[in-house]
Amino acid sequence: MLFKKWKKQFITKGGWKTPKSLFRIFIILWALYVYCKSKGWLPKKSLKGEHVFITGGGSGLGRYMAMEFAKLGCKVTITDVNIAGLEETKQMIAQQVGLSAQVHSTRCDVSDSAQVKQAADLARDVFGAVTILVNNAGIVQGKSFLDASEGMMRKVMEVNTLSHLWTIREFLPDMIKLNRGHVVSIASVAGVVGCPGLAEYSASKFGAFGIDECLRLEIKKMGKNIKTTCICPYYINTGMFDGVKSKWFLPILDQHWVVNRIVNAVRQEESVVLMPWNANAFFVLRGILPTFVSDYLFKICGAFDQMDDFKGRTQQKQTLV
C-alpha cells in the first residue's frame, strides 16, 4: 500500500517535483552520502609513492598514521621531540609493513620555525618534495584560566597553532609547483566549541581550524589542485586526555578507529571531518540557538565537568591529540 501511494504521488502525478519533495530527496541523498563517507565507502585516490610528512610521529595518532600511510606505499617522514618515540615508531612500521617501508625520522620542535626548516630540508633530501603534510603535533595543559601557567599557555599556542604556519610555508611552494598535494590539519571538536579548563588548547585548535579554512580558500583562489582536510575529533584514548569524563552519547574515541577515519578522509578528499558524526550537532546548535540556550545544553551534556578529573600526560612534550 505504501509503495502504491508513493508511486501514485511521486511518479504518476509528478509529486517529486514539488519544493517539499525535492527538499526531502535532497536530505535523504545528503544523509546517504554522509553515511557512506563516514564508512569509507566513497571512491578513494591512491597514495602510492606520495611523500607524507607527519609532525608528532613519536606516539599516538602520528605513529599509527605513519604506519597506515606506509602500508599504502607512501614514503613517510616523521618528526617529534621524543627521539625514543620516533625510533619505536620506525621499528613498529618495519615489523608491520616490512623492511621495504620507506621511513625517515628527525627530531624537531615544531614551535621553532628554524627547526621546521631544517627538518623540511632533510625530508626533501631523503625522499624529494613533500606532497602530503599532516600537522598533528599537539600538547595540552588542561587547567583553568587562573591556574594555568603562562609558559605552558604560550607553548600550547606555538605547538598547536603557529607550527601549522611554519610547516605550510615550507611545503606549500613545492605543492604549487607540482600542482598537487594535500594538507591535513589535526584540530579538535574543541576547535569549534569551547570547554571549561581548555582555554588555550581550545584557542589553539580554533586557530588551526581557521588556518585550514583560509588555506583552502587561498588555494581555490589560485586555482591549484591542492586539497586540504581539517580533522576535528572528540577526546581520543591516546593518553593525552586521561581522566576526562564523557557521556555515553559522545564516547572517548579509539585511536585506531580515528586513524582509519583520517586516512579515509584524505583518500576521499574530505574538507572537514568532525568525529564522531553527532559532534556536528554542537557546531550547528551554537550557530542557530541563543547563546544562553546552547550554554545550558552544553552544561546538561556534561561539558562543564569534563576536565574536573583531568590527568593527561605529565611530560611537557609534543604529543598527539
What residues are annotated to the active site? Answer: 201
In angstroms, rounded to a whole number, what is the distance separating the alpha carbons of residues 184 and 1? 50
Strand arrangement, sheet containing 102-107: 102-107, 75-80, 51-55, 132-135, 181-186, 226-233, 272-275
In angstroms, rounded to a whole number, what is the distance separating the alpha carbons of residues 78 and 44? 24
- B/e letters for 287-317, b = 16+ CB within 10 Å, e = fewer, are eeeeeeebeeebeeeebeebbeebebbeeeb
Q: For residue 315, give the DSSP letter.
A: S
- Residue 69 — φ and ψ, nearest 5°? -65, -35
- Residue 160 — φ and ψ, nearest 5°? -85, -20
In angstroms, rounded to a whole number, what is the distance separating the alpha carbons of residues 216 and 313? 33
